[in-house]
A and B are shown apart, each in its own frame.
Chain A
Amino acid sequence: MTSTSVRIEAVSKRFGEVTAVDRVDLSVAKGEFFTLLGSSGCGKTTLLRIVAGFMPQSDGRILFGDACIDAVPAHRRNTGMVFQNYAIFPHLTVVENIAYGLRARGLAAGEINERVGRMLAMMRLEHLGHRRPRELSGGQQQRVVLARAIVIEPDVLLMDEPLSNLDTEMRVHLRGEIRALQRQIGITTLYVTHDQEEALMMSDRVAVMSGGRVEQVGTPAEIFHRPRTRFVAAFIGETNFLPATRLGAGGNDTALYDVPGGGRLAVPSGQASAAGSPAEVAFRSHDLIVGPATESGWTATVTDTQFYGATVRLVLELAPNVFAQAALTGAAAQTLPPPGSRVGLSLHSQSPWIFPAKPQ
């Protein structure tokens, strides 16, 4: 497979007064599965469409390998794109859909047949070759457009929320399949999604975007365990934010923070905020351990218990109008403190993160 690295250098896109993409720098290695993650309107789809050549960027440049492709029109960029709503050609059969890009490239009929045949086999679509798209299920249509994008041997595979129109079961199934396929053929992939689970599970690296900017780039584990900004901490996973005051140094090269409910949390000095400035501590709901209340420890009052099946969430009031959530699973979820009872709190071994407090 001939694929390439992608470099996005200081790319911005403005629509009138609105800046949809704001000085984004990204570098995707050859063969890497790279995901742009963010909620709607964060600029991720705009960026993908710029890479595909559907709109010009306002500033910056894009390179495939060492070649700047800004002047190359969309139909000569040799990217394979998979669209959110499939964009299958409804008037063409499965085979004609897959062969479309090869025909546009003027390949010989023999080679087209051979490559389409190989693709049908790879996608397990052989028996559907002469069907029309309306006779296919959503999952089958998605496999057809994936085959259509891959068969042209694109430099980069671009995927714009390809799974969001499918039901949960099919989505879970296909994301495993797409991931395996991408590994197998080693194609550089730029993937757009708003689904964090999808992003974490499928990607080699993830860029979290917000307001047109990249908040953080890293492996899924880095993004999840070491969020660099408050936005990333809030966007990924379930996170509690509590106002905190820095008290001074704790043991083992840590800084000590006072949090509502009488808690004292230790943070490695290297990550601590400047002394005296207001800060927030943040930690995951599932890292909060709920136990019996103690005289001097960190305590809270249970105000609600929400049953989700495998997980039970406790809503805790730490101080008047300061709330946090605890997500309990397994044995901890079997015996629940009733609403109104006082409980003691502690954190799992992983330390909380510190962010500067949001300006009021």
Chain B
Amino acid sequence: MTGLAYTVTPNWLSRHLGFWPVVTALAFVALVALLVLPVINIVGLSLSGKDDQPGVLANYITFFAERFYYQTLINSLIVSSAATILAVLLGVPAAYFATIYNIWGRGFVRAAVVLTFVSPPFIGSYSWVILFGRSGLVTATLAEIGIPLPSIYGAPGIVLVFTLQFFPFVFLMVSSGLKSIDQSIEDAARNLGSSELSVFFTVLLPLLVPSISAGALLVFVAAFTDIGTPIIIGERFRVLPVLIYGEFVNEFGGRPVLASTLAVLLLAVTTGALLVQRWYAGRHAHGTAAIRPLMQREQPPLKRLLASAYVLLLVGMALLPIINIVISSFLKANGPLLLFEPTLDNYIRLLRTVAVPLTNTLLYTTAATVLCAVVGTAVGYIIVRRPGRLGGLLDGVVMFSYAVPGIVLGVGLIVTYNEPPLILTGTAAILILAFFIRRLPFSVRSAVSMLQQLSRDTEDASINLGAGPGRTFLRITVPLLAMAILSGVLLTWSNTIRELSATLVLQSGSTITLSVEIFTEVVNANFGTASALGTILILLTFLPLVVLFRFLGKQEDALV
């Protein structure tokens, strides 16, 4: 052999272990420590029995025997299912009209859906209270002229907020599903004699089943695990996640065993929903890919008007709470009462208190986002480029974290890291790690989809030219994916900065974040301050997305 005219100097690590095996091992360690172990621990605690009643199922028996407990599960299932059904019924036609019809205000619809989607649900719910609550603006105004309004508190209010807050999941999923249907499919159905309505029900709807069910699942899980909304608007209507949270703010000290049992039940429902959706969508998947996607069509004036009115009304309703927050942040407030007096008082009052939560929020969000980008890209690479038993297992574990709700993860991390050898409760690290693990599946999935579009040959060419796996990843793969990684970073940032449910149980006084601060102000009925903080949070959430859609040319369906 005459070649190899250059000196071979592999570093110690790659000579003994190889770059990717080491990365794979590190990824497993992180996932086990932050996800698998916490989940195992809460399952273990829930099976540890009770002081006065041994037996592995004792805690579950208590739960299902006492109405105080099991009613929360029933309540949660009722409001989540209702919100899911309504979101599908409202969202599917809206997506259909916005995609196929030449409705007015399409740009506004897109922006409104995105804004609704990224605004924190608890902000939406307290905004509805400002408007339609007991002493709300609309309620009070209408009461003066003798029109009583039904109460917004309890289950109906929760369902209203969840529906309007989460229908964008269905809207975005179905919009992207419609884009994957080829125009020729619809043309063929029309050519064979079907009316528009019959094409929709016999051809489009069946093809959209995977998209609709994916959207429905996201609505259901988001609604089922939300804490803020039921606390703010639910009043005496008690749901499961709030019961878990209650166990942690219990003034007699939390009861980790009970909290764990409740968390396992929550996790069981979300995991079950995820599996059912996977199975159902898999059975109805047709692998459509559009060469020429469905076209937008001119409609007769009346049809156009009605469709536009419907879509605009829906997104307008969804957007109302956000507009309300921004406006009321500039109004004088007296506790929960807003006066029609423009003022900057709310913001001026914030100056003294906002520094800590704002700094914390920016710091934790940035740290978690960077972790997500680095680890997510590496794990996505392993799954796509180095398939095998380990890659498959990694894929499975990462996807499992989809099903783990924030509050469950919070409980799991606390019971795992509140005693030696590693005490993390109350630290900034535990919040950053929780944010990181919650968004990791999204980062991984986005890395997977971008790597699948990138021809493997480009990396092989680099290897072939003598660059090792690590060098190839850094010099070829990462630069080629730079824009896609940046998109992922912006999305992670937007979704992390508003996290509430895990944060509520994991934060201590010094690690308070904006979302917790807003939540506290709302619970204490300081609506003026809450609105000003909410406006800041919405701005921080929305700005990266403006960059994403304006400058990186992303479509809204990148959000889901």
A-side interface residues toward B, CB under 8 Å? 2-4, 52-54, 64-67, 69, 73-81, 83-91, 100-101, 104-107, 145, 148-149, 152-155, 158
Contacts and interface: CB of A to CB of B under 8 A. Distances in A.
- 3 closest Cβ pairs, A-B complex: A101-B465, A87-B457, A105-B6
A144 B461 CA distance: 13
Nearest to A30: B2
A88 B455 CA distance: 10
A152 B465 contact: yes
A302 to B, nearest CB: 42
Interface stretch (B65-73, B97-105, B271-279, B468-476): B468-476
A152 B458 CA distance: 17
A138 to B, nearest CB: 15
A91 B479 contact: yes
Contact of B1 (A52, A65, A91, A100): A65
A154 B3 contact: yes
B161 to A, nearest CB: 46
B460 A66 contact: no
B464 A52 contact: yes
Contacts of B467: 75, 100-101, 104
A74 B462 CA distance: 10
Interface string B442-480: 000000000000010110111111111101100010011
A84 B479 contact: no
A155 B3 CA distance: 5
Given A78-B4, A80-B464, A87-B457, 7 more contacts: A66-B1, A74-B464, A75-B472, A80-B465, A85-B457, A101-B466, A155-B1
Contacts of A90: 458, 480
Listed residue (A53, A67, A88, A89) with the most chain B CB atoms within 10 angstroms of its CB: A89
Contacts of B458: 87-90
A73 B460 CA distance: 12
Contact of A76 (B2, B4, B457): B4
Nearest to B466: A104
B463 A54 contact: yes
A91 B475 CA distance: 10
B5 interface: yes
A106 B464 CA distance: 15
A91 B463 CA distance: 16
How many B residues are at the interface, by size bracket? Answer: 20 to 34
Interface of B: 1-9, 455, 457-458, 460-469, 471-472, 476, 479-480
B466 A105 contact: yes
Contacts of A101: 465-467
Contacts of B460: 52, 54, 74, 81, 83, 87
Nearest to B458: A87
A78 B4 CA distance: 6
Contacts of B3: 2-4, 64, 78, 153-155
A4 B466 contact: no
A331 to B, nearest CB: 48
A76 B476 contact: no
A106 B462 contact: no
B461 A65 contact: no
Nearest to A54: B460
Most A Cβ at <10 Å: residue of B2, B462, B465, B467: B465
A104 B178 CA distance: 46
A107 B461 contact: no
Nearest to A1: B2
A270 B488 CA distance: 71
Nearest to A78: B3
A69 B1 CA distance: 10
B457 A89 contact: no
B57 to A, nearest CB: 43
B466 A152 contact: yes
Contacts of B1: 4, 64-67, 69, 155
Contacts of B5: 2, 105, 153
Nearest to A105: B6
Given A75-B469, A76-B466, A105-B466, A87 B4 contact: no
Contacts of B471: 104
Counting chain B CB atoms within 10 Å of each CB, the highest count among A75, A86, A105, A152 belongs to: A75
A122 to B, nearest CB: 18
B461 A75 contact: no
B24 to A, nearest CB: 17
Given A87-B457, A106-B7, A81 B464 contact: yes
Contacts of A65: 1-2
A79 B464 contact: yes
A158 B464 CA distance: 10
Contacts of A67: 1
Given A76-B8, A87-B455, A155 B2 contact: yes
A53 to B, nearest CB: 8
Contacts of A158: 464
A4 B463 contact: no
A74 B463 contact: yes
A285 B80 CA distance: 73
Nearest to B14: A73
Contacts of B9: 106
A91 B480 contact: yes
Contact of A2 (B2, B462, B479): B2
Contacts of B468: 73, 75, 104
B465 A83 contact: no
Contacts of B457: 83-87
A75 B463 contact: yes
Nearest to A69: B1
Contacts of A66: 1
A77 B6 CA distance: 12
B125 to A, nearest CB: 46
